Every structure is written in structure tokens, then in C-alpha cells.
Homo-oligomer: A and B are copies of this chain.
């Protein structure tokens, strides 16, 4: 991508967008801050008061609702939904870096930085907190207020602090019924081993 923002990118007058790697049609709303070096795809919607740090990567069509914070080390794939106030993390044992006792640990990123990936089409509900070194699977759905402490398989619904499994989600986000049909869009699924796959 070029060194200037695509003219189709909208940046609200109160927002700070320092990144020049923002795809066409993306919108950055009030009081949001996208740091230099953050990579943002096309047609994303970055809502008010969001923070996206250098080194974070978002695919195309990602929605990042108000106040969500996306740090270095976090990758969000196409069409994922990052809910309002969602907090990622990238360090299991954070301390203030001004403290001598942690100088050695923070001297090298490999000592503390753990990546997290949100796969295509997944949802992270309002106010959920995602510990680091994890993967949220494709079309998975993390409930509002959940604290995600382990990987979430594709299409899985998880809720609670710490998260527990609560069902399966369709592509459209609606929970599947007991026969793995979606009451919203009529898609049918079946199990293939431990994996949910679309049927027929």
C-alpha cells in the first residue's frame, strides 16, 4: 500500500490515524487512535474510542466496536466482529517497565509477547477479555463479558469467566439447535469427528 491513505478511507476529524496501511473504504470514527504500523484491511469499521496499536493486523470487513483495544501481536481475520470494550492482551505477566526487576524480561519481545488470532467471521461479545497466546476459531462466538482463557474451536459458543462451552454458532451468529440446524438461516451442520461441518 502507498504511503498516504487511500482517498476512500474516512477518518473522523477527532480521530488520530497514523497508519498509512489502511484499506479502501475503511472508516475510523471519533476519538479512535490507529497507530503507525497497524495494518488495516478494506471496508473495516473502526468505531469511537478504539485503540489499534502498531503491529496489530486486521483483515477486510472487520468491525471493531467502540473502545475495543487491539494490541501488537493480535491478528483479526476478515469479517470478524470485535465487540464494544473488548480487550485483548499480549503479555501474561505484565509489570510496569519502569521497574528494575523486569528489565531483563522486557529487553526482548520473545520473552513476553504472545500473539492472538481471531479467525474469519468470529464474534467477540461486548466487554470480553481475551488472554494471549490463543486462537478464536472461525465463526466462533464469545459471549459478552467472557474471559477467554483457552482456544475456542471453530463455530463454538463460549461464555463465562473463565469461559465454558455453551453451544455451536452458525455462520450467521445464531446458535444451532439440538439437531445442528440454524433456526435463523436454515443452514444444516453435522459433526465430523470433533469438528462441525456444513451438511450438504
Contacts and interface: CB of A to CB of B under 8 A. Distances in A.
Nearest to A182: B101
B93 A174 contact: yes
Nearest to A47: B51
Contacts of A44: 98
- Report the contact-size class of chain A (Cβ under 8 Å from the partner): 35 or more
A10 interface: no
Interface in A158-175: 160-162, 169-175
Contacts of A172: 93, 95, 101-102, 105
B79 A99 contact: yes
Contact of A66 (B51, B79, B144): B51
User: Is chain A's interface secondary structure helix, strand, loop, or mixed overall?
Assistant: loop
A184 to B, nearest CB: 6
Among A79, A85, A98, A174, max chain B CB count under 10 A is at A98
Interface in A1-53: 14, 16, 30-31, 33, 43-45, 48-49, 51
B31 A87 contact: no
Given A51-B49, A98-B79, A99-B61, A16 B14 contact: yes
A104 interface: yes
Interface string A117-135: 0000101011101010000
Contacts of A73: none
8 contacts: A43-B98, A60-B98, A61-B96, A79-B95, A89-B144, A93-B184, A129-B144, A145-B161
